[in-house]
Amino acid sequence: MLRSMYSGISGMKGFQTKLDVIGNNIANVNTYGFKKGRVVFKDMVSQSVAGASAPGNGRGGTNPRQVGLGSQLAAIDTIQTQGSTQTTYRPLDVAISGDGFLQVKDGNNTLYTRAGNLYLDKDGNLVNSDGLFIQGTTGTGTTVGNIKIPQTAKELSIGADGKVTYTDDTGTLQTAGTIQLAKFANPDGLMKVGNNLFEETPNSGTITTAAPGDKGTGVLVAGTLEMSNVDLSEEFTEMIVAQRGFQANTRIITTSDEILQELVNLKR
């Protein structure tokens, strides 16, 4: 069989994956804290027709002759650039301006997110939209755990330094806790696990936890939310490129098939 046919098949498979990633990006264009994906290709091994030769005997050297055997998937990157912020004026909405992730507790597992739409459960615990507990130091101490706000609290607010404060019955300002951010040496190495959450991997590197603004972490902007970093104009352009690339590879297969048909018709 012709090598070009298999090269075309590998190209079609690659562009199918690229379209899958583009479709997911577009579907999450309005998802808070979403980080878009990017597909990167690389060529497959090349078949050597002739090797290189060194100069000698009055002649110059020759270059190797190789035939490529198609393309393959090199990586599907998660682009961790910051999305634009949307003003909501809601006291429990926070956006991270800079590096870092909010920490949430799912049982014994700690997960990470950039989606800052926070809520209170019936017990006054600070949670995300799935009811996972936001982690931080409790009260004015250094113990890390769930941040709980009393039922009688008034005028709840979250500061740029992550400090969650409220006014009690006597009008005194109290501190419920301080939200802690997590920063990774290689945030691109985090793995998406759905529900706007990331999971630590062996390649995400050293994790640093600190209050917002400390140890290189960003600050919190209350009353705003970080939007998806998907650029629709870029995604539609990449969609056109992927579509045309897929079409071009189908033409390679069609042309290769026509050549095989001619070969078969040599014997009548």
Give the tens place of pLDDT for each residue, 151-163: 888 889 999 999 9
pLDDT of residue 171: 84
Contacts of 112 (CB under 8 A, 6+ apart): 101, 102, 103, 104, 182, 190, 197, 198, 199, 200
- The reply to whether 218 and 255 lie within a common domain is no
231: nearest Cα among 241, 243, 239, 219:
239
pLDDT digits (tens, 9 = 90+) for 148-204: 998 888 889 999 999 999 998 888 899 999 999 999 999 999 999 999 999 999 999
Q: Is the domain of 198 the same as that of 152? A: yes
Task: Give the structural domain span for 178.
Answer: 85-226
Residue 147 neighbours by CB distance under 10 Å: 27
Number of domains in the chain: 2
Rounded to 5 degrees, φ, ψ at 56 are 170, 160
Clarify whether residues 205 and 248 are in a common domain: no
What's the pLDDT score for residue 265?
87
Task: For residue 263, count other CB atoms closer than 10 A to its CB.
Answer: 10
Residues 129 and 221 in one domain: yes
Interstrand relation of 101-106 and 133-138 (parallel, antiparallel or unpaired):
antiparallel
Does 89 share its domain with 128? yes
Do 97 and 214 have their domain in common? Answer: yes
The whole-number pLDDT of residue 1 equals 60
Which residues of the chain are modeled with pLDDT < 70? 1, 268
pLDDT for the residue 57: 84
Q: Are 128 and 70 in the same domain?
A: no
pLDDT at 16: 95
**Predicted local distance difference test score (pLDDT) of residue 4:** 87
